[in-house]
A and B are shown apart, each in its own frame.
Chain A
Amino acid sequence: EAGVTQSPTHLIKTRGQQATLRCSPISGHTSVYWYQQALGLGLQFLLWYDEGEERNRGNFPPRFSGRQFPNYSSELNVNALELEDSALYLCASSFNRGKAFFGQGTRLTVV
C-alpha cells in the first residue's frame, strides 16, 4: 500500500513568488494535515482538511492557504513568499482521527 506522497521533493522560489505543494494521502484516509518544519524548529501546525473542508488552521498568515479535492488529495499554496518561509513542509493523512502518517516532505527554499 502506498504511503503519503508529496510533490515536488524540492522547490526553489524567489521572494514574492507563489509556491504550490501537493499531497496524496494514503488510500482510504479522508483527513490531511499540513505542517511547517523550519530548520532547528519543531513541527508547526498549518492546516487541517477533512472531507473536503478546512477544519482548523494554525497561527499563520492568510497567504498560507490550501484546499482538499474530492479524491482527498490536497494542495498547499503559499503566496508572496518570504525568506523565512524556507522550510520542510510536511503533509500527514489519517482516517477518522486515527493514526497520522507523514509524507517525506517538500523542501521549500526561498531566495
Chain B
Amino acid sequence: NAGVTQTPKFQVLKTGQSMTLQCAQDMNHNSMYWYRQDPGMGLRLIYYSASEGTTDKGEVPNGYNVSRLNKREFSLRLESAAPSQTSVYFCASRILAVGALSSYEQYFGPGTRLTVT
C-alpha cells in the first residue's frame, strides 16, 4: 500500500496562474482533507470531503476549489494563484466508521511545496 500520495512534490507558479494539486489514497478511506501549513500558523484545514460526493469548507477556503473525483482521489485547485498561497499543502484521509475509535486517526501524504512569485 502506498497510503496517501500527492503530486507534484514541488511547484513554482507566477501570480495569476492556475494549477491543480492531486491526492490519492489506496486505503479505502471515506474522508479526505486538504490542509495548508505555514510557519507559525500550524496546519489549517482548507476543504474536506466527509464521504464520496460531498465537500465542505474548512477554516481557510478562499481562493481554492476542490473535487472529490471518486473514493480514492481528492484534488485541490488554485484558479488564480496569489503569493499568499505560498505554503506546504498536505492531503490526508481517514476511515469514517461510526463507533470505531480508530476511525478518528488521519493519515497524511508527503506534502506539496508551492511557491507563488
A and B bound? no
Binding site for A on B (CB under 8 A): none
